[in-house]
């Protein structure tokens, strides 16, 4: 057989997207299983290749690769010229004859719907929905042939060019077939989603339905009926009648027209219950055929339904895998969100963490292999045993709320409103699950409780942080030594992973005394009611906190640069390390920088993602932080600020002692109560300083594991197994191990990279069910009022700086940091931050803890904060009440000019017992009560 040029949809060859594109192949697959599809044929990609073979067209396509997706005008002009070059081509005579022959079989004088079908569309990770043209009601062979070329040209619409650029799809690698189908004149049409596209629930079907052709709905000119139905039975769960004022119909001789719908018909349902059940059944057949949730365009003609298109729903976040083994509903919580790092991770990193978490949970008696799932490049933990059980639920959600309040609220609301496990009322099953969970958790809880009480009564809180850091340093150094002494890359990778897995139990075991802070905090709240602000202030200026020590060291580095004018100028100009080192005084600065990297270079932004470089590999973020400190900063300011925080904490401790003594009355009883508070304060501050030690210890091992995985990538590149060292991150762990052992592997890395890019661009839900439903996802209001979780008291006004990549972006002193999440590697940004706003996090996540210690107002879990706030806007962050307000806006392009401008500090008297507001920032800061007064004014 020669190269196919015109292929009927009913032929098996039409199911090959290489020839008929995504849309055509999907329609052909529907036809192959006898689903109702209008008759037609495909003009294949071979014809497209002939059309675009013209040198002028080729030059236009090649030039597109150099365009920036953000260059709207450039893409518009280049797209127009490319389309014009294609439209200037004419189909070869032989192909025109083939098209005419197929039209003769179907009806030479009939009207046709003609749709482009690119090879890169309707894919599981890139649908290209709405990117290419569909032209309806085309009559006559000449018009059809001309429209075929027009549809091929639509492969280069502005939106299609940008879509390919952003999804990493080369323009020259795309082919465009064209589907020609007999025109249908429907009474009604619409779209059927075999899963709820908003919530992600795979058990609910969503249908949009309107009159006439679907163009009125696609174009947004009418509000269609919206139907929610049960996916298994077709039962209508909810039917909302839309205001269908218009309908689009085909006209005789070609083209379409828009007509007004009568007032009576507008208020009527388009679909009966029976028709909904019929549509759901057809949709389920399409879903089963493709094995994925589908977006199906349908129409109703003479009491029958026809399918016009079918494509995967690419916007749905994946369902966690592996699926549960029972038939019950399961609830999963995002481990990435718990770690305040919601970004997607590549396959190798996901595999490493999945194995590590599985083993850790097993050792702690919290479950096993099926309790850890993956979805969209993130890890999810099955929390069903804890939230299904009525007796455990309250305690578990209370603990979760301290880390991620929105997640706890979402789960609680879901369980309360839906009652998803009604069988839990059965006494035998409830008791059995209670006992099973309690038996597994009891040893862990016993260890934590014993360690916390021991620290409370017998511990030495003043020495705890120093002793712990010394242990973690030795522990990590010994592990790294064992890894590096192995002889081969394969052995070093295995040992590194074993060391990482084996470390967790010991690392976390050493951390258990930290929980004494919860006991001490609760006791202080009982002994000193009404002094919540003072108790919060105890968390400031902690001696021995590894993150604080690191940040102070960064401030010292900035002070050294400030004392060396040539070095300061080079850093302010954004020069790299080598250039800075060559300036006058650069050698001394570089030595200090190296000393900092020797101590902290194993850290970095988003450090739980092993594919991200550490500071010692790329010290640019360290230099960026120094640059931010130089802009408007002063020598010694960071040390003075820390001293102020210590003073605030000590003053708060004194007030607590006095308050406790006064409540107990003067005399021995008051003295005893004051002594008890003194001990509780020491325990609270001493053991709170341990909070970052486990991450500090694990980060050293993560850096060692990364070092070996990079070496593995280099080895496989040298052996021609991989094209590039960085491709190692797109292997699965078993593939890497096999490749290092010399076994052949054949991964589709191009597809994996595209899928990773797709997942990276997706919003990952905090909580998701085994049915795919995202729980508690907020609906974003259209105004400037943002709400989140208050985590660090006080109010600050200042200019926002949205930071998405801390390796290339920094803050000038007094700016408010707005970011998606905040992990330990981003702590250097706090050196200059006056406030914090994040999309992810809770009261006990890293950014919240550091914000409280530094005394800067912070609000976390603010939905879409990085999209709704722009760099240069002046905002007010209320860390007491959990609100963020946009006050005014300075154009982003002008904002860099403000880096050295320090607005006058606006002083207000803090409320009694709150401690003095820090005044080392360019932003205006007050406490909560002052904020309320200002609003009333």
| Number of separate helices (H) and strands (E) present in the chain | 33, 27
Exposure string of 492-526, with b = 16+ CB inside 10 Å and e = fewer, is bbbbbbebbbebbeebbebbbbbbbbbbbbebbee
Q: Provide the 8-state DSSP code for 923.
A: S
Nearby residues of 864 by Cβ (< 8 Å), 6 or more positions away: 780, 839
Nearby residues of 206 by Cβ (< 8 Å), 6 or more positions away: 192, 193, 195, 196, 197, 198, 226, 227, 228, 229
Distance separating alpha carbons of residues 857 and 854, to the nearest angstrom:
9
Question: Pick from 367, 373, 368: which is nearest to 318 by CA?
Answer: 373
Distance separating alpha carbons of residues 325 and 116, to the nearest angstrom:
42
Distance separating alpha carbons of residues 209 and 206, to the nearest angstrom:
10
Residue with tokens 């016993």: 446
787 within 8 A of 882, measured Cβ to Cβ: yes
Nearby residues of 363 by Cβ (< 8 Å), 6 or more positions away: 504, 505
Distance separating alpha carbons of residues 109 and 751, to the nearest angstrom:
43
User: Which class for 457: exposed (0-12), middle (13-18), buried (19 or more C-beta within 10 A)?
Assistant: exposed
Q: Which residues pair with 333 in a beta bridge?
A: 381, 767
Question: Pick from 261, 272, 170: which is nearest to 222 by CA?
Answer: 261
Question: Pick from 847, 858, 842, 851: which is nearest to 401 by CA?
Answer: 842
Distance separating alpha carbons of residues 251 and 273, to the nearest angstrom:
31
Question: Pick from 239, 259, 241, 240: which is nearest to 249 by CA?
Answer: 259
In Å, what is the CA distance from 723 to each residue of 65, 705, 716?
21, 22, 8
Q: Provide the 8-state DSSP code for 763.
A: P
Distance separating alpha carbons of residues 39 and 744, to the nearest angstrom:
45
Exposure string of 221-241, with b = 16+ CB inside 10 Å and e = fewer, is ebbbbebbbebeebebeebeb
Among residues 531, 638, 846, 881, the one annotated as catalytic is: 846
Greatest Cα pair distance in the chain: 109
Question: Pick from 364, 372, 715: which is nearest to 505 by CA?
Answer: 364
Instruction: Give yes or no: 846 in active site.
Output: yes
769: enclosing H helix or E strand = strand 767-769
Phi-psi region of 839 (alpha: psi -120 to 50; beta: other; left: phi over 0): alpha
In Å, what is the CA distance from 804 to each residue of 808, 871, 886?
9, 11, 19
Exposure string of 608-644, with b = 16+ CB inside 10 Å and e = fewer, is bbbbbbbbbbbbbbbbbbbbbbbbbbeeebbeebbeb
3-state secondary structure 161-222: HHHHHHCCCCHHHCCEEEEEEECCCCCEEEEEECCCCCCCCCCEEEEEEEEEECHHHHCCCC
Distance separating alpha carbons of residues 838 and 820, to the nearest angstrom:
5
Which runs of E-coded beta strand occur in 416-551?
none
Residue 266 tokens read as: 């507008």
* Residues catalogued as catalytic: 846
């Amino acid at each position: 057989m020669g190269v196919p040029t015109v292929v009927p949809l009913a032929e098996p060859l039409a199911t090959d997207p290489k020839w008929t594109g995504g849309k055509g192949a999907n329609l052909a697959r529907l036809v192959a299983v006898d689903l109702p599809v209008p008759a037609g044929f495909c003009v294949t990609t071979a014809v497209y290749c002939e059309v675009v073979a013209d040198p002028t067209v080729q030059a236009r396509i090649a030039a597109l690769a150099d365009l920036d997706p953000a260059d709207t005008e450039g893409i518009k002009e280049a797209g127009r010229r490319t389309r014009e070059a294609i439209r200037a081509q004419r189909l070869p005579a032989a192909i025109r004859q083939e098209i005419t022959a197929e039209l003769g079989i179907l009806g030479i004088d009939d009207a046709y719907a003609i749709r482009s079908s690119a090879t890169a569309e309707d894919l599981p990770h890139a649908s290209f929905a709405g990117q290419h043209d569909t032209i309806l009601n085309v009559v006559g062979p000449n018009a059809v042939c001309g429209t075929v070329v027009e549809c091929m040209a639509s492969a280069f619409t502005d939106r299609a060019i940008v879509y390919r650029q952003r999804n990493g799809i080369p323009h020259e690698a795309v082919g465009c077939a064209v589907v020609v189908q007999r025109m249908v004149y429907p009474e009604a049409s619409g779209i059927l989603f075999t899963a709820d596209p908003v919530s992600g629930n795979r058990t609910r079907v969503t249908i949009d339905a309107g009159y006439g052709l679907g163009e009125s709905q696609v174009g947004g000119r009418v509000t269609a009926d919206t139907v929610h139905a049960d996916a298994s039975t077709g039962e209508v769960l909810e039917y909302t009648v839309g205001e269908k004022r218009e309908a689009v119909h085909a006209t005789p001789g070609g083209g379409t027209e828009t007509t007004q719908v009568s007032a009576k018909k507008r208020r009527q349902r388009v679909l009966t219950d029976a028709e909904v059940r019929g549509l759901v059944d057809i949709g389920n057949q399409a879903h089963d055929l493709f094995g994925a949730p589908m977006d199906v365009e349908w129409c109703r003609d003479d009491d029958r339904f026809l399918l016009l298109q079918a494509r995967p729903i690419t916007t749905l976040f994946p369902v966690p895998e592996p699926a549960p083994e029972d038939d019950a509903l399961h609830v999963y919580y995002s481990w990435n969100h718990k770690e305040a790092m919601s970004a997607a991770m590549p396959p190798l990193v996901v595999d490493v963490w999945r194995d590590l978490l599985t083993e850790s949970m097993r050792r702690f008696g919290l479950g096993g292999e099926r309790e850890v799932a993956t979805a969209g490049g993130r890890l999810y933990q099955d929390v069903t045993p804890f939230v299904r059980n009525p007796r455990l639920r309250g305690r578990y959600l209370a603990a979760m709320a301290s880390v991620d309040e929105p997640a706890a609220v979402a789960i609680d609301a879901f369980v309360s409103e839906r009652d998803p496990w009604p069988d839990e009322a059965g006494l035998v099953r409830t008791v059995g699950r209670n006992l099973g969970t309690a038996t597994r958790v009891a040893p862990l809880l016993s260890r934590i409780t014993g360690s916390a009480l021991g620290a409370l009564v017998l511990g030495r809180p003043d020495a705890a942080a120093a002793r712990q850091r010394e242990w973690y340093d030795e522990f990590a150094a010994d592990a790294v030594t064992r890894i590096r002494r192995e002889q081969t890359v394969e052995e070093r990778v295995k040992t590194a992973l074993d060391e990482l897995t084996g470390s967790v139990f010991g690392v976390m075991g050493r951390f258990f005394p930290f929980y004494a802070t919860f006991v001490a905090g609760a006791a202080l709240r009982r002994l000193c009611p009404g002094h919540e602000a003072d108790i919060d202030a105890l968390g400031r200026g902690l001696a021995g906190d590894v993150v604080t020590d690191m940040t102070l060291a960064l401030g010292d580095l900035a002070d050294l640069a400030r004392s060396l004018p040539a070095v300061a100028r080079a850093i302010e100009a954004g020069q790299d390390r080598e250039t800075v080192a060559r300036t006058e005084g650069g050698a001394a600065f570089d030595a200090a920088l190296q000393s900092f990297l020797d101590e902290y270079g194993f850290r970095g932004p988003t450090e739980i993602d092993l594919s991200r470089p550490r500071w010692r590999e790329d010290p640019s973020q360290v230099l960026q932080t120094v640059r931010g400190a130089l802009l408007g900063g002063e020598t010694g300011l960071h040390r003075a600020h820390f001293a102020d925080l210590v003073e605030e904490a000590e003053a708060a401790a004194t007030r607590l002692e006095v308050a406790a003594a006064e409540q107990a009355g003067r005399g021995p009883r008051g003295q005893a109560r004051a002594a008890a508070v003194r001990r509780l304060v020491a325990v609270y501050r001493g053991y709170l300083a341990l909070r970052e030690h486990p991450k500090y210890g694990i980060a050293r091992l993560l850096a060692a594991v990364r070092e070996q995985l990079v070496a593995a990538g280099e080895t496989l590149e040298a052996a021609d197994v991989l094209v590039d060292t960085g491709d190692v991150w797109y292997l699965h762990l078993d593939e890497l191990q096999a490749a290092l052992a010399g076994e052949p592997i054949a991964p589709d890395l191009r597809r994996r990279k595209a899928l990773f890019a797709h997942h990276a661009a997706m919003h990952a839900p905090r909580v998701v069910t085994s049915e795919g439903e995202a729980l508690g996802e907020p609906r974003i209001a259209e105004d400037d009022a943002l709400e989140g979780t208050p985590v660090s008291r006080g109010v600050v006004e200042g200019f926002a700086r949205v930071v998405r990549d801390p390796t290339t972006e920094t803050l000038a002193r007094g700016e408010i940091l707005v970011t998606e999440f905040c992990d330990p590697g981003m702590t250097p940004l706090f050196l200059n931050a006056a406030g914090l706003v994040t999309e992810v996090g809770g009261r006990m996540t890293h950014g919240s803890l550091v914000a409280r210690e530094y005394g800067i107002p912070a609000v976390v879990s603010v939905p879409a904060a990085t999209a709704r706030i722009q760099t240069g806007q002046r905002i007010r962050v209320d860390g007491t009440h959990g609100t963020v307000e946009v006050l005014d806006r300075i154009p982003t392009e002008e904002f860099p000019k403000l880096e050295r401008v320090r607005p006058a500090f606006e002083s207000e008297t803090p409320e009694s017992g709150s401690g003095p507001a820090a005044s080392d920032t360019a932003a205006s800061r007050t406490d909560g009560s002052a904020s309320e007064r200002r609003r009333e004014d």
